[in-house]
Structure 1
Amino acid sequence: MDAVYQALVVTVAAFVAISFPCLLLAFLCRHRNNRLLEPDHRCASSSPLPISAPAGTSSELSSSWSLYGSAVDSSLKKLSLDDLARATGEFSPDNIIGDGSFGFVYRAVLPDGGPAVAVKRLSADHAAGAGNREFRAELEVLGSLSHRNLARLLGYCAAGRDRLLVYELLERGSLDAWLHGDAASLPLPWPARLRVTRGAAAALAFLHHDRHPPVLHRDVKSSNVLLDEGFEAKLADFGHARVVTGGPAASHLSTQAAGTAGYMAPEIREGVGASVKADVYSFGVLMMETVTGRRPSWPMKNIIGKEVELLRWAREKVEAGISSEIADHRMGLEGETETKEVKDFLDIAQSCTEESPKYRPTMREVVERLNRL
């Protein structure tokens, strides 16, 4: 019996001797991996944010759906949360210059003493889900592109659950504010509206035709068209942007709905899928909004007195040859030349908002037609 007992003791001791080192090694490896996956709360400027990690690496901000497979532009500043907090007065409500479902935009002055900038801070809940994808999309698009009509991204920060983007500050705000908001008390004349529209069109044409592979914006609207001091348009907010892997003629990129009610193309609303022609449609709605001074979501009474959405109301007027009736009187049209420009402008908008994508022009064609006005 003693021999059996001794054998049992030896067996247990051997099992413990072998198992303990294995369990300890497994614990240390797991702890090390967790440390590697922890977000950097300091946002130190010495290391770039791994938006598109090399094969075989793991990162909180990397995944198999990386948009372009390119890292963030090294010229972008990686800023600390502390610096951005100080620059915005601890994210003071007094410094808020914009807001939305994503969070808030603050006016800020960075420690380097340069010109004021705009800091977009995603709300913690938003940043944890879709906001994190939008954060990466903004970095990968604006961090790798440069065009006079694209808003310029200057830097970023990812600290814990905080996601922040730093842009050039465009003092004149958005086209939306000039058409419908506080700035609407100052009439935006027709030449300025035409200039803004040409700039926004040039930005989309660049994304669709001069960027390889092409990029879909997927949320073209007046609040995403920002204005500099000279009323030069800057297309902003690339959180929904996606690449078109099949080139400009590719039919459908994704069936996932993206965009804003009133601007979305019929095929997006029906779940068919997005293409560059969906951006063209949204741009056509933007054109109608710009010339009428009315929001796309506003109900309007058509020719027979029925309430319809802005686009249908405007298209019926254009088709009936009475487009002059829908022009915003605040534009102060001067003479036959400007009146004809508005008519031709609405004809372009009409073609952009055709129900079928195949009948809509490309953005390159839209730019050419606008430049002939």
Structure 2
Amino acid sequence: MGVALAVVLAAFGSVFLLAMILAFIVCVCKFTKNRDYGRRLHHHQIRTVSNPELSSVKMDESASFDPTINRISMEELKVSTKNFSTDLIIGDGSFGMVYKAALYNGSTVAIKKLDPDAFQGFREFRAEMETLGVLRHGNIVKILGYCVSGLDRVLILEFVERGSLDQWIHDTSSSNNEYSEDKFPLSWETRIKIVRGVANGLVYLHGLDTPIIHRDIKASNVLLDSSFEAHITDFGLARKIDSLHSHLSTQVAGTLGYMPPEYKEGVTGATAKADVYSFGILMFEVATAERPNLPKMMEKKEMGLIEWVRKMLAQNRHMEILDRNMPREGLSGDEVNEYFRIASLCTEEIMVDRPAMSEVVDLLNKLST
């Protein structure tokens, strides 16, 4: 009996010892796994925090791209805009208001303050920096510098005296610039000059080594200087493209009424032919003073601007659709007809049927005006 009990106790002790060893091994494995997971998590957190794009959101930085101005602090910009007073607002660009400001050196500039909570506001800022900062062309608004302070991001832009083309065509009551007394109406010759300027600006953008697609050509994104020369502005949706990729974004971009029909078919990338279409719509708008995003009535039916224009042109009524406030002296019916023919080419439904902007410039230069 004693021997049997001893054997049982020995066996039980062996099993207990084995169980303890196994439990110890399991604990060690769990501890090692948790420690490694903690190290990986800590390493991942460090990498995330050190992401330069995220950390740069809160940095204080300013830069100048023009020799006429030095780096400007956010404090100077607040003083120059009277703490971004609504009285100094001269425009509402994508993702931010635009203010008129006088810097300490006496120069007048436009200040664009990006909305801190704007959708993709930081991407908008980066896009503006990568495009406007290096562009120099007579029909492109120059970016003179920028300032970042905390979550505030501000662009310093060339001030273009007469304001937006949209105001000159549609808003006869606006008086936020010194030229308001002779603001309206624009002559046919002036409208042709403006359209040519926009076309030349787009040729420049599309012809860069890495082409730039604006993606939001419209009347409010065209500014006019004292000589009524056009300057393309607001590159919030601009995209660079290379020869291997037709676009860098699959998101629909642009303004209702100016967007090409291929967007409805799911072709949403940035292409030069999309800019050509928007430019064609702008040509119709400049000549007719009708807004592309508002319906027109014809034959007791509502229709968009482009459908209305096409129907009127098909009936040889091109002179009837011109802005009724525009002077008619010396106006050539043949030239008006050719103008609308060029605009119609730009707004072809099929993308490949539209001309390049360089071809459009050649056609516009043949107009006698």
| TM bracket, shorter-chain basis | 0.7 to 0.9
- Are 1:179 and 2:179 matched, yes or no? no
Partner of 2:309: 314
Partner of 1:64: none
1:363 Cα offset (Å): 0.2
SS at match of 1:322: coil
* Distance verdict in 2 for CA 1:152–1:340, change over 3 Å: same
Structure 1 segments unaligned to the other structure (5+ residues):
1-18, 49-71
SS at match of 2:342: helix
Q: Tell me the number of residue pairs that the alignment of Structure 1 and Structure 2 aligns.
A: 318
1:44 Cα offset (Å): 4.8
What's the CA shift string for 1:103-153, capped at 9, x where partnerless?
211111112x23211100011101xx4111111111111111110000011
Question: Which stretch has the larger CA shift, 154-163 or 284-293?
Answer: 154-163
- Are 1:266 and 2:261 matched, yes or no? yes
Partner of 1:281: 277
**Larger Rg belongs to:** 2
* 2:147 counterpart (144, 157, 161): 157
* Distance verdict in 2 for CA 1:101–1:205, change over 3 Å: closer
CA RMSD of aligned residues (A): 2.9
1:99 Cα offset (Å): 2.1
What amino acid is the match of 1:105? V
Distance across 1 between alignment mates of 2:85 and 2:238: 30
Could you state the TM-score of these two structures normalised by the residue count of structure 1? 0.78
Distance across 2 between alignment mates of 1:73 and 1:170: 17
What amino acid is the match of 1:230? S
SS at match of 1:329: coil
Q: Is the 8 A contact 2:65 2:145 kept in 1?
A: no
Question: Which stretch has the larger CA shift, 306-315 or 267-276?
Answer: 267-276
Distance across 1 between alignment mates of 2:341 and 2:212: 26
Q: Is the 8 A contact 2:239 2:247 kept in 1?
A: no
Q: Is the 8 A contact 1:281 1:354 kept in 2?
A: yes
Distance across 1 between alignment mates of 2:331 and 2:81: 49
What amino acid is the match of 1:267? E
Q: Is the 8 A contact 2:94 2:234 kept in 1?
A: no
Distance across 1 between alignment mates of 2:259 and 2:77: 35
* Distance verdict in 2 for CA 1:135–1:265, change over 3 Å: same
Could you state the TM-score of these two structures normalised by the residue count of structure 2? 0.79
Structure 2 segments unaligned to the other structure (5+ residues):
1-34, 175-179
- Are 1:241 and 2:231 matched, yes or no? no
* 2:187 counterpart (186, 189, 207): 189
SS at match of 1:335: coil
1:358 Cα offset (Å): 1.0
1:73 Cα offset (Å): 5.4
Matches within 5 A, 1:30-49: 38-39=55-56, 43-45=60-62
Distance across 1 between alignment mates of 2:142 and 2:251: 27
* 2:344 counterpart (327, 342, 350): 350
Partner of 2:23: none
SS at match of 1:282: helix
Partner of 2:25: none
Q: Is the 8 A contact 2:167 2:220 kept in 1?
A: yes
1:79 Cα offset (Å): 2.5
